[in-house]
Amino acid sequence: MFTKALLSGVIDANASAVWYETFNPYSSLMDGGQVLTELSSIPAAGNLTAAQNNATANPTLIQNLSAAADAVRLTPVAGTNNSTYIAYSTYNNPASGVLTNWLQPQLIQQSSGAPSNGYSIQLYDGDPNAGGTLVSTSEGQTGTGENATVGWIFNYARGILLIASDFVASVSNPYIIGFRYIGKTALNASSSSVTIDLVADEAIAIGDAVRLAINGEAGLTAGRAVKAIATSSIAADVVGIAVSSAAAQGNTFSVAQIGSTDVFMDSAPATTSNGASIFLSAGTAGRSTLTPPSSSGNVVVKIGKLTGASGSDATPSAVISISTIVEIG
């Protein structure tokens, strides 16, 4: 039954029915907070240094808890005889919430197809910042080959540590270090919008305001998308907001032209800015701003209205309604 469910996506309790004879599809429930809508924007990391650099470069997507000083103490789950532990935001305080969505290396493949092991969690018995002992992935393992069993397993999605019954005594005070996904999920994903697909002529980030290159622009391919900027009528001719990232020149990506989507701002706007108009920036290509450009030669392009400003998110949601207001003489 378990093989059919996990490998073939079908389920029943009939031991004599093989996967292609089974009537019912297998599915599992998942809350919206575990649908990681910006996971594709997480860069690969073959080692810890690369993972730490990626976290520094993407602070709205990756929480870096890889330093010993940031280790998370796991709380034993009542009634499990110390075989199950969970990562609460505050030790032994379920009301503080669970630290879920740890970055599982297999979800972010390197170009070779190998997992991004730089994001792997490390387990310690005791606080690593105060003499705790590293527990390797192979510790507690018994048997070999298909008969091998491991001493412990970490569920990255739920922040749960499972310890084998014969290894429980070896880990009495578990701590972990690693990286968490803190980008947008289905709970705060953009609502519906009218989108089109374009081909990028440069790297495009989610929330960037884009335009189409025209014939004769040096170094650009006519008809491809580049980041817009409010410094001239050509450069400010916004056609939409990127709702999926294009990692490199030549990638196809989606652009919202109307509706609600996330907009890349020049800084994280305060909650009190919700409802305010936002404009194409004249300072940084692709960005939007609360302050319309005012210099001679700039073009004032209204992008829409803010709806999701929180004071900490540089890509809040906004209602998109693009219009050119004026070119400043």
- Domain contains 119: yes
Q: Report the C-alpha gap between 175 and 161 in whole angstroms.
A: 10
Judgement on whether residues 121 and 214 belong to the same structural domain of the protein: no
pLDDT digits (tens, 9 = 90+) for 85-96: 999 999 999 888
| Number of domains, the chain | 3
Q: Give me the CATH number covering residue 280.
A: 2.40.300
Secondary structure letter of residue 55 according to DSSP:
H
Judgement on whether residues 4 and 44 belong to the same structural domain of the protein: no
In this prediction, residue 169 carries a pLDDT of 94
CA dihedral 306, 308, 312, 314 (to 10 degrees): -60
Judgement on whether residues 61 and 142 belong to the same structural domain of the protein: yes
CA angle 309, 187, 35 (to 5 degrees): 125
- Does the pLDDT of residue 71 top 90, yes or no? yes
In this prediction, residue 284 carries a pLDDT of 96
Chain-centroid distance, C-alpha 110: 16
Strands annotated E in the chain: 10-11, 24-25, 62-65, 72-73, 75-76, 84-86, 122-125, 133-135, 152-155, 160-163, 174-181, 193-199, 209-212, 225-227, 238-242, 252-262, 277-280, 288-289, 299-306, 317-327
Judgement on whether residues 78 and 209 belong to the same structural domain of the protein: no
Instruction: Look up tokens 């879920």; give the residue.
Output: 100
Judgement on whether residues 72 and 163 belong to the same structural domain of the protein: yes
- Does the pLDDT of residue 316 top 60, yes or no? yes
pLDDT digits (tens, 9 = 90+) for 223-270: 999 999 999 999 999 999 998 765 678 899 999 998 889 999 999 999
- Does the pLDDT of residue 150 top 70, yes or no? yes
Judgement on whether residues 112 and 66 belong to the same structural domain of the protein: yes
Per-residue tokens: 82: 């110390």
Judgement on whether residues 85 and 25 belong to the same structural domain of the protein: no
- Domain contains 186: no
Judgement on whether residues 145 and 64 belong to the same structural domain of the protein: yes
pLDDT digits (tens, 9 = 90+) for 1-24: 556 656 667 677 777 777 777 777
Judgement on whether residues 161 and 225 belong to the same structural domain of the protein: no
- Domain contains 276: yes
Per-residue tokens: 21: 């004879």
As a whole number, the mean pLDDT across the chain is 89
- Does the pLDDT of residue 190 top 70, yes or no? no
Q: Yes or no: say if 72 and 65 are a contact pair by the CB < 8 Å rule.
A: yes
Q: Which of 129, 159, 181 is the last residue of a domain?
A: 181
CA distances in angstroms from 29 to 33, 35, 38, 188, 314, listed in the order given: 12, 11, 20, 18, 31
Per-residue tokens: 155: 């569920």
- Domain contains 156: yes
Judgement on whether residues 3 and 50 belong to the same structural domain of the protein: no
Judgement on whether residues 173 and 298 belong to the same structural domain of the protein: no
- Does the pLDDT of residue 55 top 50, yes or no? yes
- Does the pLDDT of residue 295 top 90, yes or no? yes
CA distances in angstroms from 223 to 200, 203, 239, 286, 325, listed in the order given: 9, 15, 12, 17, 24
Average pLDDT over residues 23-37: 75
Q: How many CB atoms lie within 10 A of CB 197?
A: 10
Query: Of residues 17 and 220, which shows the higher confidence score?
Result: 220
Judgement on whether residues 220 and 322 belong to the same structural domain of the protein: yes
- Domain contains 146: yes
Identify any residues that bridge with 155 across adjacent strands, giving them in sequence order.
160
- Domain contains 187: no
Task: Provide the domain limits for residue 307.
Answer: 193-327
Query: Of residues 105 and 34, which shows the higher confidence score?
Result: 105
Q: Which of 181, 205, 235 is the last residue of a domain?
A: 181
Grade residue 188 by pLDDT with cuts at 50, 70 and 90.
low
- Domain contains 188: no
Q: Which of 181, 208, 231 is the last residue of a domain?
A: 181
Q: Report the C-alpha gap between 105 and 54 in whole angstroms.
A: 14
Cα distance between the two ends of the chain = 72
Grade residue 58 by pLDDT with cuts at 50, 70 and 90.
confident
- Domain contains 43: yes
Average pLDDT over residues 189-200: 74
